[in-house]
């Protein structure tokens, strides 16, 4: 981890709010079209930044890249004893602030107008690195990028080829992660598993391709021995829903990560419904239904600036529904054929 140290004095009586620290480290990352500076006195917290964003391809957008600053503060507060997981994050807003609060010692405060955020975590929270990274640190990064760059935030996966991308939409459990994984293993570029930010005017999509999450029962569908071993050796995390998944690091060389934002050329609604025949896998969504389906699939994004422009462009472009085949490879083949068709237009 490359970090720069800055030293200042700290006097509790002169600094009751802890605004100054005796040892300040900073790490810089190019993410989601913005430049991020992470600052902390804690090596452990900056290690989590590296775990989340180290080794990723830089993502640049054709707009001015703001400088975002995130302060990470480790405090001695404790979680409740014998907790299996931290309290769920409660969202709050007011006075130009966006907040995610677990408890008095674990929270994130985002100031979009100032392009800054504060993440506070207790020492005990270090025992829950997935929740700390995913629910507090990544929360700050995605909110700052979304608001600071005017991007449309989608709960979606995205894969593509030669700079062109397809959104994978659908409810949790529909199979977006599985389809994204098999797309990666069969030659498509991987942009993101579950969070895609889109510039509504250019339809350039950016994301963070750090991890893919795989259920144990999905391993039987992975034929490649090296990929199977890669996932089996990954740590297991537990979602808030109680579902356990392998968290496999995408930066270990299995497949290609998108080196730059992908230009969206289509959207696919992934369905848990099975198709009996290959020709029934991928079917067009009627034009007059696309806007309503997008709105229903993305209720948060639908209330954000840029949504109307994004929605109109996606309706003109067209959308498809993808049912499950006998093997995920059949679904990837359907996506490949869709990209072939869209490339010829």
pLDDT tens digits along 313-327 = 999 999 999 998 888
- Position with higher pLDDT, 10 vs 107: 107
User: Comparing C-alpha atoms, which of 308, 61, 319 is closest to residue 200?
Assistant: 308
Predicted confidence (pLDDT) at residue 77 exceeds the cutoff of 50: yes
- What confidence tens digit (pLDDT) does each residue in 179-199 have? 999 999 999 999 999 999 999
Q: Show contacts of 109-115: CB within 8 Å, 24+ apart.
A: 110/139, 110/140, 110/143, 110/144, 110/147, 112/143, 112/144, 112/147, 112/148, 115/66, 115/67, 115/68, 115/69, 115/144, 115/148
Q: Distance between CA atoms of 238 and 243, rounded to whole angstroms?
A: 6
Q: Distance between CA atoms of 123 and 173, rounded to whole angstroms?
A: 33
- Position with higher pLDDT, 233 vs 173: 233
**pTM exceeds 0.75, yes or no:** yes
Domains and CATH numbers, the chain: 4-9+19-149 (no CATH), 153-343 (3.40.50)
Beta strand spans in 162-229 (E) = 164-169, 189-192, 196-199, 204-207, 211-214
Q: Phi/psi of residue 93, each to 5°?
A: -150, 160
| 215: alpha, beta or left? (left if phi > 0; alpha if psi -120 to 50) | beta
Enter the tokens of residue 337.
Answer: 């054929």
Distances (CA, A) of 4 to 133, 142, 301, 331: 21, 24, 36, 46
- What confidence tens digit (pLDDT) does each residue in 239-277 have? 888 889 999 999 997 889 999 999 999 999 999 888 877
Q: What is the pLDDT of residue 280?
A: 81
Residues 198/204, Cβ–Cβ less than 8 Å:
yes
- What confidence tens digit (pLDDT) does each residue in 17-76 have? 776 665 678 999 999 999 999 999 999 999 999 999 999 999 999 998 889 999 999 999
């Amino acid at each position: 981890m490359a970090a720069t140290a800055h030293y200042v004095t700290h006097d509790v009586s002169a600094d009751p709010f802890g605004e100054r620290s005796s040892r300040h480290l900073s790490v810089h990352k190019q993410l989601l079209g913005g430049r991020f500076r992470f600052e902390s006195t804690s090596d452990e917290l900056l290690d989590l930044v590296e775990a989340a964003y180290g080794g990723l391809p830089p993502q640049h957008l054709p707009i001015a890249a703001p400088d975002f600053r995130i302060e990470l503060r480790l405090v001695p507060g404790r979680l409740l004893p014998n907790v299996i997981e931290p309290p769920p994050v409660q969202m709050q807003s007011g006075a130009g602030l966006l907040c995610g609060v677990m408890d008095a010692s674990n929270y994130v405060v985002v100031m979009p107008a100032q392009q800054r955020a504060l993440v506070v975590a207790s020492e005990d929270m270090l025992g829950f690195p997935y929740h700390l990274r995913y629910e507090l640190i990544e929360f700050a990064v995605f909110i700052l990028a979304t608001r600071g760059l005017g991007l449309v935030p989608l709960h979606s996966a995205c894969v593509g080829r030669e700079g062109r991308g397809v959104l994978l939409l659908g409810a949790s459990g529909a199979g977006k992660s599985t389809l994204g994984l098999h797309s990666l293993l069969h030659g498509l570029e991987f942009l993101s598993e579950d969070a895609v930010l889109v510039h509504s005017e250019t339809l350039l999509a950016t994301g963070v391709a750090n991890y893919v999450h795989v259920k144990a029962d999905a391993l039987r569908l992975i034929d490649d021995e090296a990929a199977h071993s890669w996932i089996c050796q990954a740590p297991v995390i537990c979602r808030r829903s109680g579902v356990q998944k392998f968290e496999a690091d995408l930066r270990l060389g299995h497949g290609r990560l998108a080196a730059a934002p992908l230009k969206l050329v289509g959207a696919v609604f992934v369905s848990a419904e099975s198709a009996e025949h290959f020709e029934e896998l991928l079917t067009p969504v009627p034009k007059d239904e696309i806007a309503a389906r997008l709105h229903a699939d993305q209720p948060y994004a639908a209330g954000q600036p840029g949504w109307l422009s994004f929605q109109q462009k996606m309706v003109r472009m067209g959308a498809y529904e993808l049912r499950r085949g006998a093997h995920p490879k059949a679904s990837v083949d359907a996506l490949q054929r869709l990209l072939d068709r869209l490339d010829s237009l």
